[in-house]
Structure 1
Amino acid sequence: MLPRPSLSFTLPSLHDNTKLDCRIYHPACLNGPLGPSDTSWRQHAAVVAHPYAPLGGSYEDPVVHLVANTLLNLGFVVATFNFRGASSSCGRTSWTSKPERADYMSVTGFLVHYVHYLRPPRHNPNPTLLLAGYSYGALVTIQLPPLDSFLSDFASPATHTALADIRLRAQHLAEQQNIMITTPSSPRKSLGLRVGGDEDTTPPKTRERPRFSSPDREERIRKGVKEILSRHRLIHRKHDHSSVGRSGRANHDETFLESVDNLIRFRCAFLLISPPLGIITNLATMSFSSPFASWSKRKRGVSPSSAGNHGGNLEGEEAEAEMKLVRNPTLVVFGDQDGFLAVKKMRDWIAQLGSAEGSQFCHVEVSGAGHFWVEEGVAHELRDSVFSFATRLIEIS
């Protein structure tokens, strides 16, 4: 369904530097030479997150492929990735989903900077960034903080952090792709570039868990990042730190990346496919907070301030997560035969968010569709819903 990725590479997670396996797909308009006046690529981009890893979820999931391919054909640059513990990514799935949210933010931060550095020069003042997820991936998408709040962490990060590494990898890989895009005879244009991991073309159903990365490939990306870093003007800041075991304080000099000039500004949107809310949310993630929680408390007249400090903070995070779905274009697609969600609660939730003043929240309920979208004809309805929603996004951008 999907073509071979234009890029296969690894990223460190913002949570704890766990290595994540990632892919970038270029639309057809980026697969040939582009001149400075070319207007076919409008810089739309999307991230698509996969289902629960312990149940077999990965970026090879058929629904992930269907959504990614639909967006790719509309001209989006599409990123897919494996959460920690999924397929070839390192680490283990958490019980809280907090590390997975950091995984998602890591890929999003990369994609924003990657698209920024891709050429030809920008001509769309307000491209769309669509943050999407299916099943567990949709739950994580719901819980993401607003885009601007976590992108601000990438503005001027310390050079030794994952934030800086992600930014530098994005610039390095974009510059490599720029050479391929502008060089018709490039032999690697249709083959893609594997950075930080081994290419594995064995069908996913028959292959064993792949080796994660080869030292020579990872070394090449480190050299590329080092070269990019040597061209950056760094900011030096002194910090006072208490000296362990000594009286007094010691000065410590740290270096930081400068902010990116005129960083591309996206219009954010959200796509949620079959978020398993209501019935097994807590069973799947043990302590993953349900987006129903803050709405149900508000309905009962319970305010965040009436809870304890920790509960109040969690309530505020849930409310903020919901509000981003109201304030930004959001589509939820689910089936009325989905055994992984409480359909009545889902209907109540979408009615509440959809009726809020100025809401941009909408939904499609597909008759006869289950959680895995294998019933006759329902995959076509899913694809058509995604296509219509994404088309509206790019028409108004």
Structure 2
Amino acid sequence: MTSAPTTRRRVLVLFGGRSAEHPVSCVTAVGVLNALDRNAYEAIPVGITRNGTWSAVRETPDTWTVSRLIGQTAIPEAEAASGSPLGAELPEVQEPEHPVALHRASTGIQLVDTVTHEVLSEVDVVFPLLHGPFGEDGTVQGLFETLGIPYVGAGVLASAVGMDKHYMKLAFQAAGLTVGDWVTITNRDWYQRRDQKLDEIRNLAFPVFVKPARGGSSLGITRVTDPALLEDAIEEARRFDPKVVVEAGILGREIECAVLDGHETDDPRASYPGEIEVLDETSGHQFYDFAAKYQDDAAAELSCPARIPEDAIDEVRRLAVRGFQAVDASGLSRVDFFYTPDGQWVINEINTMPGFTPISMYPAMWDRTGLSYPELIHELIELGVERGTGLR
């Protein structure tokens, strides 16, 4: 791990966003702000509302509270009595009276030319804790590249490929990784070739999983066992994205690995693999869905290292790094696999900005591997500064 900077870096912690994963991003931000070493970093929390307005969170209390999404609040303690910029119940960034102007003195670029309450002129690095479209898909990354501001995580291309499950699978195949069968349905397909696409899906191994092509946090996903229910499941996924992927069911255990970039020309590092066991008999969840991830403490438990043979652990760590490199990722990613009964690995997907609350899989796996949550945050920030912007 790199040493702490001699002067405090100014870290813009960006959260919220326009996607359906807005609440998860808010809770993630609270976890990061709470764990950030204030001796090494000056935090500048900025939330993005659901309609895209950037809002500075002026209060920066020493302690933030992290809680579940449903029926509780994720807010700064100082604001607990009077309302919070992070919202309540389902955390949400509220509309500000004055928007933020993000200005970069070194480039002379300013995003907002109206009179504003606060100008963020010289941040050292951005930690974009945004999930889903308009944040994890390369759009915000391109903005920071244009402004010349270093940021944590994947660049424009890797973010875009990692967000689109269709192109992600193509990249994995090109890198020699094994992927499961799938069918992609574009918006045009759904209106012009619906019957053809439904026939293609019926040839997949059931149950199938119907997913928004560019979504996360298990939102809009349906497990389908009966082909007669396919159209309803596709319409549900289309509420989140007009492009849908339908993946064949794969008999195997779901194993995940956290990847952390290497410094300079060092190779990326992989954590011990982890396995989530959904406790059907107590929780009623058929798979690791949104509710199991964020709303139900008793829904699942983490086994890390996963209870698999030592050689399988070594292999999946190696394959996770290959998946990371297949999409040209940087910073961090969580890579998900199926481990089949005959000992084969089938890669499922990569998340270039995985859930990052203290109990999320990515930091939990690194904690079990020997890197604590605060140490992981420090490492990611320093990797972002080191990476910089522009072609590398």
TM-score (normalised: structure 2): 0.25
| Structure (1/2) with the larger helix percentage | 1
TM-score (normalised: structure 1): 0.25
